[in-house]
Structure 1
Amino acid sequence: MANALIITESASEAFHTHQILTELFSEVKACNRLAVAKELFVSFKPDLVVVSDLSSECVDAASVLHQVSGDAAGVLLCAGLGAVMGPDPIRSVRIVPPLTVSGVFAALEKLDLARIVSQTSLPLSTRRPAND
């Protein structure tokens, strides 16, 4: 069973991302504060963390991922100048919002996590062969 954690202050982004990830992951949780994200990461043990900037805490997405998960696989939702600033965590992929199912699947391929998610909701063209 694969789990995903969403960290964002935007309710609409959390809702949209949650809808997409529930098609692929067994369980998805969302939070909007760094302290809560750290606690959830330890107790929930997500396979993927999807992060956007936390402007109220003055922390960009890459820094949030560093602080919350260390070396866990992550998707950084970065728009505008945030898409080109600073070093990224080693196991991360940047995506310019809006997030899509095919965008998530492409990120999972890059992070070598595609095998752990449910692929029944993906378009046939993006599913991995059953005998892989």
Structure 2
Amino acid sequence: MKLETLNEVKAWFMNLYSNCVAQFNEKKLNRVNTIVKAVTNYIDENYPNPSISPESIADHVNISSNYLRTIFKNTVNKSLSIYISEVRFNKAKFLLETTDLTVSEISTAVGFSNTNYFYTAFKKNYGISPNHYRNTYKST
């Protein structure tokens, strides 16, 4: 390639720089997506563990908890804690609809160590108690 003017050299370097930045950003985005996918898989497999937390998940994927919170929120558009709660409540609703387990057993099965907290949080999220939810939606 023969560059004859300073402007041609400048344009060539700017193009090279832009390409490098684009490749770097693509690699970063791929890494972030890989981390978020690993996190969601980990949560899906470990939601029954009451001690699951952003810190323990960050340790699992070998990044800082602050960085994990940031990339998760930017990628999924919700906080990691909210996502964990949503997974747990969705599993609880499924169990309420499909099993005869007690609310206490379901609470424990989905990772709540305190049944009273589960009951209160469920009612706050859905506007009805777990028992009322079961009576309304349980398949017979």
Higher Cα radius of gyration: 2
* Larger RCO (alpha carbons 8 Å, 6+ apart): 1
Task: Give me the TM-score of the superposition, normalised by structure 2.
Answer: 0.23
More strand by share: 1
More helix by share: 2
